[in-house]
């Protein structure tokens, strides 16, 4: 027997156990071992039924994704399924931990499924830009009906055992002893007069949709509405729909074809890159397993404004009790009213229950007195973005907070090292930069100051994960990774308008690139007055942006900005008044207007941002190109199917990007276009950015 799979017999039950830590992935040895074990059970006259289970903490995490993109080795996962499904003796999958992807697909080829109460089941292939490729799209609809199958396959999210039992993916939920219950279940199936039918032979759940697929199609349309140019969610629907009119074996073959086509496509490559990038982002030099995070059982947030309220919610949602400190009762009331309203909306939408809302609200308390937060393990400051205000707050925190408390700032731009100097404990200070709305957005930039101690970083990483964020460790500089690159992306916005593009032209180029919003629609949403005030305080100007604000056009909140919104905030209409303003400013400044192509817009916005990313890498502000991708995917809605700016740049060709940057640098003189040394080096060597950083040629 292959070492990764063990076989034992207990009475009339053969127990086949997958042992391939950490997640019992169905690599070659496991596939081979399971088939061999099934053959052995089939041949053993004393065995009447089989239990298939996972050793260690879990059933199976699915296919071994390190094999993706390599030459496939037989037996394949579909071969494993066929072997289980065609056994003459019933096979029961005994699931604990999780059954994901191929793991769940194999269990669907068994004749019964039982799981522990805390088990989780999922077909998450869509998140890697794929469809389930081992029969999931054909067997699941036969088990629970095509609509319910789409609910599992298109979003790809885990389903708990209770829900899985309700919808019929599971036959039973086990008591204390999964294996004992699974054996009893298998023996029952073996003793029954009629052998349980394999899912390939079941058609009853498909009949309604075969007669009239309109409800299924409508449901599919709702589920894929947010697919935003991603191919995989649509391919999932196509595959499930095949169950209605394509014979089972033919549908399996087509499912496999679609799977392989997606696997070789750019989007899946990008999404697989992001899957690994997110894990890689947790690896921080100098912070290994020996660095223990501090315990955070109580937190405090300073400021109950836009960010403070959202951060307090994020913590409360993750189970951490929080005290919010504000300047006065009025500010507290305002902040709490917003929080209450947000939770009420979630209850109305059905995303949380009223009890859950009350539990979360119960974790929040408020105060105006620093003594009430002195024993918090972590404080996150989210007061006005002014160094003088922040310094006063950190001075005060240094006075009152217990020793060992972590002091974090949510600043967007300010120097975290300067802030730390206001305390006698700079090792306990760091930046924890959340994104708005902080209770929703996944990105958390963890800003490591010069003196921040490793266990403080480890704590922020652990807490970030606990509250469902995607943390990325970054260094101190103006705007850190995300906002600094955003500034470079915006540097040519005004020039593009003056030279002939309309706000709608620029926004359309962004939508076509895959962003869900362009920069001008985004500016209108966020409020143009914010940037205007910042510019005034820094003595900067922007011909068009300033003129709009001077005319009282702050964006959606005033009904007018770069667009007009007379039919509601979602209905941005190009405004001839703005076109005239732009033309007039261009004339004043002596700028000749011409047609501007979508390619030019991308070159003058996205390329500078990539260039800034390369500078950020040179300076060590981000540890690796993939960290930058994670920042942009989770904080700035960079299109997932493009894998993040740095991944996309490599796909688009660094040499081409450097050449175009040089061209625009020559033409405009704008320093955002001056190619970064790292970019030049990688382009010249024909290597990846990561290899150029490591100073070696790309051997991949």
Which residues participate in catalysis according to the annotation? 105, 125
Contact between 306 and ligand NAI by CB under 6 A: the answer reads yes
The alpha carbon of 252 is separated from its chain's Cα centroid by a whole number of angstroms, namely 30
The answer to whether 602 and 618 have CB atoms below 8 angstroms apart is no
Say which residue the tokens 């005060």 belong to. Answer: 396
Near ligand NAI in 264-303, by CB under 6 A: 302-303
Instruction: Check binding of 412 to ligand NAI (CB under 6 A).
Output: yes
Residue nearest to ligand NAI (CB): 305
Tokens of residue 86, six digits: 């065609």
For residue 463, state whether it binds ligand NAI (rule: CB under 6 A): no
Strands 159-160 and 120-122, how do they pair?
A: antiparallel
Q: Quick one: 432 or 509, whose CB is closer to ligand NAI?
A: 432
In whole angstroms, what is the distance from residue 310 CA to residue 686 CA?
Answer: 44
- What's the CA gap between 92 and 87, in Å, rounded? 11
Q: Which stretch binds ligand NAI (CB under 6 A): 72-80, 175-183, 305-313, 576-584?
A: 305-313
For residue 472, give the H/E element and its range: strand 470-475
Q: Which of the ranges 207-215, 407-415, 563-571, 574-582 carries the binding residues for ligand NAI, by CB under 6 A?
A: 407-415
Restricted to residues 422-451, the positions that interact with ligand NAI (CB under 6 A) are 434-436
Q: Are 403 and 423 in contact (CB under 8 A)?
A: no
Task: Determine the distance from the C-alpha atom of residue 492 to the mean position of all C-alpha atoms in its chain, rounded to a whole number.
Answer: 29
Instruction: List the beta bridge partners of residue 474.
Output: 447, 622
Q: Is 384 in the site for ligand NAI (CB under 6 A)?
A: yes
Q: How far is the CB of 249 from ligand NAI (least distance, A)?
A: 54
Q: Is 307 in the site for ligand NAI (CB under 6 A)?
A: yes
* Contact present, 381 and 433 (Cβ < 8 Å): no
- Beta carbon nearer to ligand NAI, 327 or 337: 327
**411 is an interface residue for ligand NAI by CB under 6 A:** yes
Closest CB 111 distance from ligand NAI, rounded Å? 53
Residue 434 or 565: the one with the smaller Cβ distance to ligand NAI is 434
Report d(CA 657, CA 514) in Å as an integer. Answer: 19
Angle at 519 between CA 516 and CA 521, to 5 degrees: 75
**Least distance (Å) between residue 84 CB and ligand NAI:** 51
Q: Counting contacts by CB under 6 A, is residue 327 touching ligand NAI?
A: yes
**Smallest gap from residue 530 Cβ to ligand NAI (A):** 8
Contact flag: residue 304 with ligand NAI (CB under 6 A): yes
Residue partners of 519: CB distance under 8 A and separation at least 6: 489, 490, 493, 506, 507, 510, 605
CA nearest neighbour of 305 among 417, 389, 428: 389
- Least Å distance, CB 442 to ligand NAI, is 14
In the complex with ligand NAI, which residue's Cβ is closer, 222 or 340?
340
Smallest gap from residue 649 Cβ to ligand NAI (A): 26
Looking at 72-80, 383-391, 453-461, 601-609, which segment touches ligand NAI (CB under 6 A)?
Answer: 383-391
Which one of residues 52, 236, 242, 331 is an interface residue with ligand NAI (CB under 6 A)?
331
Select 178 or 521, whichever has its Cβ closest to ligand NAI.
Answer: 521
How is residue 638 written in tokens?
């960079």
- The 3-state DSSP class for residue 262 equals helix
Reduce the DSSP state of residue 516 to 3 states and report it.
Answer: coil
Complex with ligand NAI: residue 366 or 564, whichever CB lies closer: 366
Give the residue, chosen from 149, 383, 544, 657, that forms a contact with ligand NAI under the rule CB under 6 A.
Answer: 383
Look-up of token digits 């931990």:
97
- Told to check if 389 binds ligand NAI by CB under 6 A, we report yes
State the minimum distance, in angstroms, from the CB of residue 226 to ligand NAI. 22
Q: Which is nearer to ligand NAI, 62 or 303 (CB)?
A: 303
Among 75, 158, 160, 305, binds ligand NAI (CB under 6 A): 305
> Does residue 634 touch ligand NAI according to CB under 6 A?
no
Check if the beta carbon of residue 586 is closer than 8 Å to that of residue 499: yes
d(CA 71, CA 684): 31
Nearer to ligand NAI, 191 or 392 (CB): 392
147/163 Cα distance (integer angstroms): 15
- H/E stretch holding 78: helix 77-85
Instruction: Check residue 337 for interaction with ligand NAI (CB under 6 A).
Output: no
Q: Which of 77, 102, 93, 87 is nearest to 197 (CA)?
A: 87
In the stretch 65-84, what mask flags binding to ligand NAI with x, by CB under 6 A? --------------------
The interface region with ligand NAI, picked from 232-240, 377-385, 459-467, 682-690 by CB under 6 A, is 377-385
* Residue 382 lies near ligand NAI (rule: CB under 6 A): yes
Please provide the distance, in angstroms rounded to a whole number, between the alpha carbons at the two ends of the chain. Answer: 35
Rounded CA-CA distance 82/75 in Å is 11
Residues with Cβ within 8 Å of 562's Cβ and at least 6 positions away in sequence, in order, are: 503, 520, 521, 523, 524, 528, 548, 555, 575, 578
> Does position 393 bind ligand NAI by CB under 6 A?
yes
- Is there binding between residue 308 and ligand NAI (CB under 6 A)? yes
Query: Closer to ligand NAI at the Cβ: 28 or 413?
Result: 413
The residues of the shown chain that bind ligand NAI, judged by CB under 6 A, are 302-308, 325-327, 331, 382-385, 389, 393, 410-412, 434-436
């Amino acid at each position: 027997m292959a070492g990764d799979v063990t076989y034992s017999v207990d009475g009339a039950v053969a127990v086949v156990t997958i042992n391939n830590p950490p997640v019992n992935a169905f690599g070659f040895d496991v596939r081979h071992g399971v088939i061999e074990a099934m053959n052995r059970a089939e041949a053993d006259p004393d065995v009447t039924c089989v239990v298939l289970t996972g050793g260690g903490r879990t059933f199976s995490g699915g296919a071994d994704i390190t094999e993706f993109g390599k030459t496939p080795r037989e037996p394949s996962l579909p071969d494993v399924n066929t072997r289980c499904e065609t056994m003459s003796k019933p096979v029961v999958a005994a699931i604990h931990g999780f059954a994901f992807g191929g793991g769940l697909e194999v269990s669907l080829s068994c004749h019964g499924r039982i799981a522990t109460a805390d088990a989780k089941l999922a077909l998450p292939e869509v998140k890697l830009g794929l469809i389930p490729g081992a029969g999931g799209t054909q067997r699941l609809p036969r088990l629970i009906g095509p609509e319910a199958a789409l609910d599992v396959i298109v979003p790809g999210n885990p389903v708990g055992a209770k829900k899985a039992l309700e919808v019929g993916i599971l036959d039973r939920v086990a008591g204390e002893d999964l294996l004992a219950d699974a054996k009893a279940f298998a023996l029952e199936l073996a003793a029954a007069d009629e052998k349980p039918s394999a899912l390939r032979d079941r058609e009853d759940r498909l009949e309604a949709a075969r007669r009239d697929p309109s409800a299924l199609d409508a449901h599919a349309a709702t589920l894929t509405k947010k697919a935003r140019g991603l191919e995989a969610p649509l391919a999932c629907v196509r595959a499930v729909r095949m169950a209605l009119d394509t014979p089972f074996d033919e549908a399996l073959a087509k499912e496999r074809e679609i799977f392989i086509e997606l696997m070789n496509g750019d989007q899946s490559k990008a999404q697989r890159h992001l899957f690994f990038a997110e894990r890689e982002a947790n690896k921080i030099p100098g912070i290994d397993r020996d660095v223990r995070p501090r315990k955070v059982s109580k937190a405090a947030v300073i400021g109950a404004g836009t960010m403070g309220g959202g951060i307090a919610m994020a913590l409360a949602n993750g189970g951490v009790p929080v005290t919010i400190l504000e300047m006065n009762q009025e500010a507290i009331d305002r902040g709490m009213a917003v929080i209450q309203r947000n939770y009420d909306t979630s209850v109305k939408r059905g995303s949380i229950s009223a009890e859950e809302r009350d539990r979360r609200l119960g974790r929040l308390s408020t105060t105006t007195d620093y003594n009430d937060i002195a024993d918090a393990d972590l404080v996150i400051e989210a007061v006005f973005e002014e160094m003088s205000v922040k310094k006063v707050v950190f001075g005060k925190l240094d006075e009152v907070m217990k020793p060992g408390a972590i002091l974090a700032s949510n600043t967007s731009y300010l120097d975290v090292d300067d802030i730390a100097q206001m305390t006698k404990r700079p090792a306990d200070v760091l930046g924890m930069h959340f994104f708005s709305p902080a209770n929703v957005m996944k990105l958390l930039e963890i800003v490591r100051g010069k003196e921040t101690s490793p266990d403080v970083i480890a704590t922020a990483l652990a807490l970030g994960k606990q509250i469902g964020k995607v943390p990325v460790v970054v260094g101190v500089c103006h705007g850190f990774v995300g906002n600094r690159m955003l500034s470079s992306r915006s540097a040519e916005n005004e020039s593009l308008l003056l030279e002939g593009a309309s706000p709608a032209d620029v926004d359309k180029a962004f939508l076509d690139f895959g962003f869900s919003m362009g920069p001008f629609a985004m500016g209108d949403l966020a409020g143009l007055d914010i940037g205007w005030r910042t510019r005034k305080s820094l003595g900067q100007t922007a011909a068009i942006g300033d003129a709009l604000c001077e005319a009282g056009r702050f964006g959606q909140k005033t009904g007018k900005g770069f667009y007009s919104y007379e039919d509601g905030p979602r209905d941005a209409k190009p405004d001839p008044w703005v076109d005239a303003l732009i033309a007039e400013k261009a004339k004043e400044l002596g700028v000749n207007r011409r047609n501007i192509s979508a390619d030019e817009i991308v070159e003058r916005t996205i390329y500078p941002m990539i260039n800034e990313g390369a500078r950020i890498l040179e300076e060590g502000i981000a540890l690796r190109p993939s960290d930058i991708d994670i920042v942009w995917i989770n904080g700035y809605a960079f299109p997932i199917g493009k894998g993040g700016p740095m991944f996309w740049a490599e796909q688009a060709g660094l040499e081409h990007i450097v050449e175009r940057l040089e061209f625009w640098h020559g033409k405009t003189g704008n320093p955002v276009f001056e190619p970064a040394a790292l970019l030049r080096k990688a382009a010249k060597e024909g290597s990846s950015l990561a290899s150029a950083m490591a100073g070696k040629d790309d051997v991949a």
